[in-house]
C-alpha cells in the first residue's frame, strides 16, 4: 500500500584528493568526455585456489563499481593480463606481495597517454571481506580521478515482506551494500515496519511500527484494543531499539536533522496529521505545519532552511515546501503533476526534489528544482515506480519498481538510475516485495 494512502487511512481510522584528470569538452552545454578505464588481472601464483578466486572477484567488483559512473567512464570489459594489452586512458595494475603478516596488494593507477602515475596504493588484502575491500579500493581510485567521494562504500536500508506467511504479512528492516550485495536483516519483529530513515552518521535508524495498544472508550468506561503507528529508533552499533514517540495516532515519516539532535516527524494526535520538530534528548515538540488538511512525509535540506512535504491542501496529495523555522512560514506548492504525489526527497545540495506521481494509472518518478521550476519526468513505461531517494553524491536515485507478472503476482524490486533517468541496474531480485529504499549518507 502506498505510504501516503496508508497514512491518510490510518489517520481516519485513528481519528580532495588531487585534480580531476577527466577531459571536459564544450559541445553546446559543457559535457564530460567519457574516459576508458581498465584493470589488469594480477599474477595469482602465490595464492591458493580460494584466494585466487577472490582476487578475480576483486577485479570484477572494480569493473562493476565504475560501470555505475558510466557518464564519466567506460569500463574495459575484456580480461587484461598486462598494461600493453589495454587501450584504456586509465589503467590499474596490481602486484600481490607476501609479507610476514599476510598478503598485500600494491595498486598503481596510471594515466597511460600522459605517462603519469595517478595514485599508488598498498593495503593488506582482506580475503574474508573481499567485497568491502574492493569497494574501498574502487573509491580510492575514483577519488584520485575526480577529487570526489564515490557511492562505492555506501549502504541502502530497505523494508521487505519476504518473511510473510499466508496468514500474516510481515515487513522487516534490512540493509545491503549499494550494489545489492551482502544483505543483512536488522529486525525480527513479526510486524509491519514502514518509513525508515538513517541518521547523518549512519549509526541510527528511525522507523515506524504498527503495534497494538489500548485506547479508552468514548464512554470513559473500559478500553479497546487498537492499532497504533509508533516511532522507534534502532542503534546499529548496540543493536538496541527504543520507542521515540507513541502518541495515539500516527507517529511516522520521521527524519533526522543534520546534527542528529532532533527529528522531524508526522503526528496526528487523533486528528489530522501535521509535521513537528522533536528534540530527541528532551522530547519537546514544536509544530511546523498547522492546517486542516493532512501534512505528512517531511524531508529537510542540509542547513534546515527548507522543508519539503506532502500535503492534501489542494484536495489531493501534492508537494509543498516551507521554511521550518516557525509555523506555516513561506508555504509554497511546487508540484502540479498527476492525480496525486508521494515521497518528496531533496538531493544532498538541497537544489532538487525527486518524488513520485500517479500518472497513467501508475506511479512514475519526477525531478524538480526546489523552487518549483524545471520539472523533469525520469521514468516512463517502466513498471510502477516509487520511493525515490538520492545517493550521497547526488548523482544517482534509488527507487522501487513494481512489475505485474500475472493477475495474482507482482514483483517489486530495487533499481538505481542516474539523475537523468538512465536505468543503471536492478540490484535486488527474489527477496520479497521491497519498499522504501533509503541511501546512507
State how far the Cα of 217 lies from the Cα of 265, in Å rounded to an integer: 27
Contact 333, 314 (CB under 8 A): yes
Q: How confident is the model at residue 225 (pLDDT cuts 50, 70, 90)?
A: confident
Q: What is residue 144's three-state secondary structure?
A: helix
- DSSP assigned state of 250: B
Q: Does residue 9 carry a pLDDT above 50?
A: no
Q: Residue 88: what pLDDT?
A: 97
Tell me the DSSP string of 52-117: HHHHHHHHHHHHHHHHHTTTTEEE--S-BSSGGG---SEEEEEEEEEETTEEEEEEEEEETTTTEE
Q: How confident is the model at residue 19 (pLDDT cuts 50, 70, 90)?
A: very low
Q: Residue 23: what pLDDT?
A: 37
Kindly list the distances between the CA atom of residue 111 and the CA atoms of 92, 252, 273, in Å, as whole numbers in the listed order. Answer: 9, 50, 57
Say whether domain 24-146 belongs to CATH 3.20.20.100: no
State how far the Cα of 285 lies from the Cα of 298, in Å rounded to an integer: 15
CATH superfamily of 3-15+154-439: TolB, C-terminal domain (2.120.10.30)
* Domain residue spans of the chain: 3-15+154-439, 24-146
Long-range contacts of 375-379, Cβ-Cβ distance < 8 Å, separation of 24 or more: 375/335, 375/337, 376/421, 377/421, 378/354, 378/417, 378/419, 378/420, 378/421, 379/417, 379/421
Q: Residue 31: what pLDDT?
A: 55
Residue range 94-116, pLDDT digits in tens = 999 999 999 999 999 999 999 99
Going by C-alpha positions, the residue among 323, 322, 363 that lies closest to residue 342 is: 363
Q: What is residue 49's three-state secondary structure?
A: helix
Look-up of cell digits 584520485: 144
Going by C-alpha positions, the residue among 221, 383, 280, 299 that lies closest to residue 3 is: 299
Residue range 167-204, pLDDT digits in tens = 899 999 999 999 999 999 999 999 999 999 999 999 99
Q: Residue 11: what pLDDT?
A: 41
Domains 3-15+154-439 and 24-146 share a fold: no
Q: What is the mean pLDDT of the chain?
A: 91
- Residue 51 gets the label, from left (phi > 0), alpha (psi -120 to 50) or beta, of alpha
Residue range 274-320, pLDDT digits in tens = 999 999 999 999 999 999 999 999 999 999 999 999 999 999 999 99
Q: Residue 32: what pLDDT?
A: 62
CA gyration radius for the chain? 24
Amino acid at each position: 500500500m502506498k505510504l501516503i494512502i496508508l497514512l491518510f487511512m490510518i489517520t481516519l481510522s485513528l481519528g580532495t584528493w588531487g585534480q580531476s584528470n577527466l577531459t571536459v569538452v564544450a559541445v553546446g552545454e559543457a559535457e564530460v568526455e567519457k574516459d576508458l578505464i581498465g584493470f589488469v588481472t594480477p599474477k595469482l601464483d602465490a595464492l591458493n585456489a580460494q584466494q585466487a578466486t577472490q582476487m578475480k572477484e576483486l577485479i570484477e567488483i572494480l569493473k562493476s563499481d565504475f560501470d555505475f559512473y558510466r557518464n564519466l567512464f567506460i569500463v574495459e570489459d575484456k580480461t587484461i593480463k598486462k598494461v600493453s594489452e589495454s587501450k584504456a586512458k586509465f589503467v590499474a595494475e596490481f602486484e600481490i606481495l607476501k609479507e610476514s603478516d599476510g598478503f598485500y596488494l600494491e595498486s598503481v593507477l596510471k594515466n597511460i597517454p600522459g605517462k603519469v602515475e595517478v595514485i599508488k596504493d598498498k593495503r593488506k588484502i582482506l580475503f574474508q571481506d573481499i567485497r568491502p575491500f574492493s569497494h574501498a579500493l574502487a573509491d580510492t581510485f575514483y577519488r584520485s580521478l575526480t577529487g570526489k567521494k564515490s557511492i562505492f562504500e555506501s549502504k541502502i536500508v530497505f523494508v521487505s515482506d519476504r518473511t510473510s506467511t499466508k496468514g500474516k504479512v510481515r515487513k522487516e528492516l534490512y540493509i545491503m551494500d549499494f550494489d545489492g550485495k551482502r544483505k543483512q536483516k536488522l529486525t525480527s519483529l513479526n510486524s509491519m515496519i514502514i518509513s525508515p530513515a538513517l541518521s547523518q552518521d549512519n549509526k541510527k535508524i528511525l522507523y515506524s511500527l504498527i503495534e497494538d495498544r489500548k485506547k479508552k472508550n468514548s464512554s470513559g468506561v473500559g478500553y479497546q484494543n487498537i492499532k497504533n503507528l509508533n516511532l522507534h529508533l534502532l542503534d546499529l552499533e548496540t543493536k538496541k531499539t527504543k520507542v521515540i514517540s507513541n502518541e495515539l495516532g500516527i507517529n511516522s515519516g520521521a527524519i533526522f536533522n543534520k546534527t542528529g539532535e532532533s527529528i522531524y516527524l508526522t503526528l496526528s494526535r487523533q486528528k489530522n496529521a501535521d509535521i513537528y520538530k522533536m528534540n530527541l534528548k528532551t522530547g519537546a515538540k514544536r509544530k511546523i505545519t498547522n492546517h486542516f488538511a493532512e501534512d505528512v512525509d517531511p524531508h529537510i535540506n542540509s542547513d534546515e532552511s527548507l522543508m519539503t512535504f506532502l500535503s492534501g491542501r489542494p484536495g489531493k496529495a501534492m508537494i509543498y515546501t516551507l521554511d521550518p523555522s516557525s509555523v506555516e512560514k513561506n508555504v509554497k506548492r511546487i508540484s502540479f503533476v498527476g492525480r496525486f504525489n508521494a515521497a518528496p526527497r531533496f538531493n544532498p545540495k538541497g537544489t532538487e526534489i525527486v518524488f513520485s506521481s500517479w500518472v497513467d494509472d501508475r506511479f512514475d518518478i519526477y525531478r524538480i528544482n526546489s523552487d518549483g521550476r524545471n520539472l523533469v519526468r525520469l521514468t516512463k513505461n517502466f513498471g510502477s515506480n516509487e520511493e525515490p531517494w538520492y545517493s550521497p553524491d547526488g548523482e544517482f536515485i534509488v527507487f522501487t519498481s513494481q512489475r505485474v507478472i500475472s493477475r495474482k503476482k507482482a514483483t517489486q524490486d530495487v533499481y538505481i538510475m542516474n539523475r537523468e533517468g538512465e536505468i543503471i541496474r536492478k540490484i535486488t531480485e527474489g527477496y520479497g516485495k521491497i519498499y522504501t529504499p533509503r541511501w546512507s549518507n
